[in-house]
Amino acid sequence: MRLSGRVPRSIHGAMRAEGEVVQVAVAGSTWASFDAFFEAEHERLFKALYFVTGNRQDAEEIMQDAFLTMWERWGDVTSIADPTGYLFRVALNGSRMRWRRAETAKRKLSLVGRDHDPFTDAEVRVDVQAMLRGLSPRQRAALLLTDLMGYPSEEAARIMGIRASTVRALATQGRQQLRATEGVPDA
C-alpha cells in the first residue's frame, strides 16, 4: 500500500497547500511527510492489528482506515503530542467498533435447531492464533500494547481510552485465560 504525500486541497480544507511539507517531531523522530510517517509505522501497526483481530484482511482494512483518518488530519498533526499513539488509538477504536458490529449481527441471527457438540468444545488447540481468538478484543489489545509493544499501562490506557488499572486487569485476565487454555497452571 502506497499513499501519496501530496494531498489535493479539496479533500480536506484544513490541510496545508498542495505539496507543502509538514515536519512533525515526536520523541526523536521527524517525519517530513505523511509518506515518511506511513513508511515508518505501517508494518508495526499491521502486525499489532493482525494480533488483535487474528485476521489478515480485517487488519489491513482497519489499518487503511486508521491511516486515512491520520492523513485527513495530517495538517493538524503538529498539535498531537504522540502521532503514533494517536494512530494506534484510532486503529484500536476501529477494531473495537468492527467487533461490536459483528457481535450485534451475530445476536440478530437465529440459530434455531442447532445442536451443541460437547466434543468440539473439548478440543485443545496448540495454535497461538486460536488461543488468542478466545480472548476478548480488549484483552488482546491490552496484551498487545503492554507485553508485545512494551507500552507502560498508563500509555496503553491513553491509547485505548480507558484507565491504567483497567489495562492491567484486562492483561492479567488475558494471561490467565491463555494459561488455562494452554493447560499451564497459574504461577
Transcribe 69-96 into DSSP letters. Answer: HHHHTGGGGGG-S-HHHHHHHHHHHHHH
Q: What is the pLDDT of residue 77?
A: 72
Query: DSSP per residue over 110-179, as a string?
Result: --TTPPP-HHHHH-----HHHHHHTS-HHHHHHHIIIIIS---HHHHHHHHTS-HHHHHHHHHHHHHHHH
User: Which CATH number does the domain 124-187 belong to among 1.10.10.10, 3.80.10.10, 3.40.50.10860, 3.30.930.10?
Assistant: 1.10.10.10
* 169 Cα distance to chain centroid: 18
Residue intervals in the chain for CATH 1.10.10.10? 124-187
How would you write the pLDDT of the chain (187 residues) with one tens digit per residue? 444 443 333 333 333 334 444 444 444 445 668 888 899 899 999 999 998 888 899 999 999 999 999 998 888 876 778 888 889 999 999 999 988 888 888 777 755 445 655 554 444 434 566 777 788 999 989 988 898 888 999 999 999 999 999 999 999 999 998 888 765 544 4
Cell of 136: 476478548
Run of H or E residues at 9: none
